[in-house]
Amino acid sequence: MSVVVVKRPPRAVPPGVPTGEVPLQTPPELPRTQTQSLMMTLLPMLGMASSAAFFFIPGSAPFMKVMGGMMIASTAVMAVAQAVRMRQGPSGQLSQARRDYFTYLAGVRKHVRRTARAQRAAQLHLHPAPGQLWSVVTEQRRLWERRVTDPDFAQVRIGLGQQQLATPLIAPTTAPLEELEPLTAASMRRFLAVHATLDGLPMAVRLRSFPHLTISGEAETGYDTARALLAQLATLHSPEDLVIAVAAGRGAAAVWEWTKWLPHTQLPGSLDGAGTRRLITDDLGELEELLAPQLQGRPRFSRNAQPLVDQPHVVVVLDRVSVPPDAVLTSPEGLQGVTLVEVAVGEPNTPEVPRGSLSIVVASDRLRMEAPGSAAYLGVPDRLSLVEAEALTRQLAPLRLAGRDDDEPLLANLDFTDLLGLGDAAAVDAARTWRPRSPHEQLRVPIGVGEDGEPVMLDLKEAALEGMGPHGLCVGATGSGKSELLRTLVLGLAVTHSSETLNFVLADFKGGATFAGFSALPHVAAVITNLADDLTLVDRMRDSITGELQRRQELLRAAGNYANIHDYEKARAAGAALEPLPSLILVIDEFSELLSAKPEFIDMFIQIGRIGRSLGVHLLLASQRLEEGRLRGLETYLSYRIGLRTFSSAESRAALGVPDAYHLPSVPGSGYLKSGTDTMVRFKAAYVSGPYGSGGMLAAEGPLPVERRPVPFTAAPVPVTYAAPQSGWSGGPAQGASADTVLDVVVRRLEGQGPPAHQVWLPPLDEPSTLDQLLPPLAPVEGRGLTAPEYPALGRLVVPAGLIDKPFEQRRDVLYRDFSGAAGHGLIVGGPQSGRSTLLRTLISAFALTHTPYEVQFYGLDFGGGGMAAVEGLPHVGGVASRLDGDRIRRTVAEVAGILSRREQLFRREKIDSIATYRKQRAAGRLPDKVWGPDQTWGDVFLVIDGWRAFTSEYEALEPVVTDIAARGLGFGVHVIVTASRYMELRPAVKDLLLGRLELRLGDPGDSELGRRAAVGVPVGAPGRGITAEHLHFLGALPRVDGSIDGSSPAADLAQGTAALVDAVAANWTGPSAPKVRMLPARLPAEQLPKGFEFPQRGIAIGIDENTLEPVFIDFETDPLLCVFGDSESGKTALLRLIARKLTERYTPDEALIVVGDYRRGLLGAVPDS
């Protein structure tokens, strides 16, 4: 059978149907009767007449008599008129109101009849009668007109019935019926009854809304209705968009034999002896195997889900076939985009209707629709006889949809390589395509073909250079081909321009699929995607682009105050030693949603529109929708407009000034190009995402040849008869096609061919760095241990803490913290799980790698969960006290306070003017030996408190001590570093002293004291991310020097990495470590105290002071009375024995007399008798 290729034209606009409502006016009401006697009506007039008699009194003037006569005459006229009016009554007014209402109804009737005619014509156009389908096939103007994106796709007519008027009639709110004029009220009710609905209109069913459709009832009528349903589907839907499959038992196979002619039942790629295999079988399991490629990956049916537009709709007909229990097609849930049509006619009982399904029960003149729990009469069923159905399908049998139509350029699929004349995509040669171009050809590229088949060029140069640019707009609805057009434009420019003359910034507010695969191009300065998931990236993109504008302005100014990029390039072409400054095209997809999320972004667009021309920056904004006023202030800068098919005529008018884009066919890539005031150019865009065909030869040895001879054409499979094998034949599969697209192949050909573009966008701060990545190479150094010898700030209290993001400057810098000046105290504020403790360990570890234990010493109080214990093994750490070790906490604070006090005395004694002088003298060893004491063991001392709130709540008495250390410490080399969850946890007295601040993610960004706007941009769930006092974002480094343990994220196995750092530093340090915190001994022998006579001026020693660890003396000569208080077994008696012992050592019997009163005899023997 020969094949006839059908060139499907764009779908014609169907006849319109009026919309709106028709509210009816209220009928007139009956007049309300008022009873009034004639005498009461005439009585006032009689009074007037009697009063006129006074004008005729003898002696009255003639003028008065004339006035009296006139009064009597007017009274008589009024009486007559009133009598006539009362006699006539309200009947005249009611008659007039009745005539007016009938006239009004007549006008409404004409309007309703026009609406009914238009509605009937539109419905019959959309759903032609089954007997008229042959004319649709013959004319081919409407053949297969419905596309998968059309709202009426898979809608099928099942009969004729009653429908509501397109403009519903709204009955008025009236008075009670007995108060209405009866004739008009009855006319209104009859008008509503007659015109509210229309009879004989097509009744359609949307198959996309039902996974299961059952046709039952009389056998002959049921089969006729099923044939009419399939005939409409096959006539109005192409085989690429809709597949029909039939599973009929052996008793029903002859009924469905006619479907073998349908192109929709053919299975591409599968052959039998009669040609293409038909999707007709008597085994449902076999049918599911044949449909497996069509059914694979389809989700379960959901009426609320979006229709599948990338896969054909599958209609499966079941008729008296056995259903396996594990059949997928008959599952109760159903599959999305699959409709099961079960024909169960001629059975005595109507089959049960599954939930969510639809059942149609037919008789010769009656059509009824049933759903679970409800039933409704629809009308008369459509019928198509077997002869008519076979005649129609024989018309359809040779027809095939054209893939490319050279005679209709606006409907053909246009390959990218054909548009640019590249030939094989794998043979693209950058040296040839990047040849020098004339000024006229710069930034000029074809994007598609016009109605005459000639390329349609988009020239991005400004109007002064005879271009259409520099800035433009592209609008296209879902499925219009907008993303493909953007890919075609970007790839076309990349193929024809080198990366030295043209760069791209590609941004997609949503998913990022539009620009997937472009990052490998040397032209790409940035690919920014998924902005909707993290709006902080939008602000970062704004800073990056604004920084690029600033960079270009400074470059033009530094090169010689060039007015614009064109003068710059002219000077460079003339031989000036200038670096290339390529044009930059910013393509921003879904900009409308971007502006909805960040309205202030319009200011940057306007800035680009204003200065972009002189800087060589071009802007192309693309979106699915365009709201009125969205581009306010930017319209004047958008010199060219591209309008693909839009959602509404208003959007088309906003983009192009005319509604034409709304009426474009549902062919992806169809659009209009409008430049300035020129007329619009209709075009069809090229396609770059299609599979790449390598053009390779098939295997030399193919399959066994098939014997060609006439065979019966049946719905059942026809066996293949092979010819006798030829000698030397061996079967082998054909070579498979490549899975790459044209875009992938071309990008690979251009990758690495030119100089890489200046990177406008650096990746966000997602993965933290490690300390070895922030420091120069680490190596053991004699006298300094494991350190970075090339680090310029060794021993200067300047350490790296992370990376600072500077998108405006398009770079990242190391975050250094300088503890040598006024910011010598540190404060780290962050909410739960924000990385406070980790950043604290990073600072300590950074000191350990850049300073010796002789230069810095750390003493920690860990109230944050035990994180500081990981660095306790560093030789720089004198000790870490946990919140449960109260004695060690008090001793640690006291130790640091003692260091501060002793150092203050040292400075005064040795006349040291500053801590800087002390550091220099100490490093040079110039401090005199006579002052070499405990204080000289320490360099810069750091008291680190992780968890300020817990510290102050549990050890409130120590807060003033730490505050005093912070107030006086910096001048003597004593520092305090604190972490807190909120700024409010710290009193102003101590908070104002902690100037070296780092702010991580807060629980409430509004609590930020560094910058609330910047704090909002710190992402949630990103430990280590924060802001500096300069409102710059940073990411803290990790305390490790091995990158990562297993090659994964550096944050993995952090504890193991920190332990390795601690071990490495400790192993490479051979000098003395930081002094440990001295603790009160658990047991103090009396022999270790000074003898009673050693310090006679101070008294006798009874113990050691917790703060100073020096002896505590009691002088009875100064304070003769002493009381000792304590619980049982607290040591009261032992203290008295010690006092007695020290007194006997201090005094002779002649100097002191000791009287002992001891009822428990615990002091027996403590005092000698003499």
Asked if residues 482 and 592 have their Cβ atoms less than 8 Å apart, the reply is no
Angle, CA 1045 vertex, CA 1041 and CA 1046 arms, to 5° = 145
Asked if residues 25 and 132 have their Cβ atoms less than 8 Å apart, the reply is no
Give all strands of the β-sheet with 374-381 in edge-to-edge order: 197-206, 155-164, 374-381, 366-371, 358-363, 212-217, 338-345, 313-319, 242-248, 280-281
Name the 3-class secondary structure at 957. Answer: helix
Token representation of residue 1125: 């208080």
- Amino acid present at 670: S
Token representation of residue 557: 């100014």
CA distances (Å), 296 to each of 269, 292, 310, 337, in order? 17, 6, 13, 12
Q: Annotated catalytic residue: which of 145, 181, 484, 590? A: 590
Does residue 895 carry a catalytic annotation?
Answer: no
CA distance 945 to 785: 27
CA distance 764 to 762: 6
Least Cα distance to 896 among 947, 843, 858 occurs for: 858
Token representation of residue 44: 């006032």
CA distance 427 to 398: 38
Least Cα distance to 490 among 423, 588, 365 occurs for: 588
Token representation of residue 7: 């060139």
Least Cα distance to 491 among 456, 459, 518 occurs for: 518
- Amino acid present at 57: I
Least Cα distance to 345 among 224, 259, 229 occurs for: 224
**Helix ranges (DSSP H) in 709-835:** 742-750, 771-774
Which segments of 207-347 are extended strands (E)? 212-217, 242-248, 266-272, 275-278, 280-281, 313-319, 338-345
Please tell me the number of Cα atoms within 13 Å of 616 on its side-chain side: 25
CA distance 1009 to 821: 21
Q: Label residues 507-524 b or e (16+ Cβ within 10 Å = b).
A: bbbbebebbbbbeebbbb
Name the 3-class secondary structure at 885. Answer: coil
What is the sign, positive or negative, of the torsion defined by CA atoms of 1076, 1077, 1083, 1087? Answer: positive
CA distance 498 to 417: 18
Please tell me the number of Cα atoms within 13 Å of 455 on its side-chain side: 16
Helix 38-51 to helix 62-88 angle (10° resolution) is 170
CA distance 350 to 332: 18
Token representation of residue 593: 């949603």
Asked if residues 570 and 562 have their Cβ atoms less than 8 Å apart, the reply is no
CA distance 898 to 910: 18
Torsion from C-alpha of 460, 462, 468, 472, nearest 10 degrees: 70
CA distance 486 to 286: 44
CA distance 483 to 504: 16
Compute φ and ψ for 158, nearest 5 degrees: -120, -5
Number of residues in the chain? 1170
Burial class for 395, CB neighbours closer than 10 Å (0-12, 13-18, 19+): middle
Token representation of residue 906: 């040292």
For the annotated catalytic residues, the residue numbers are 590
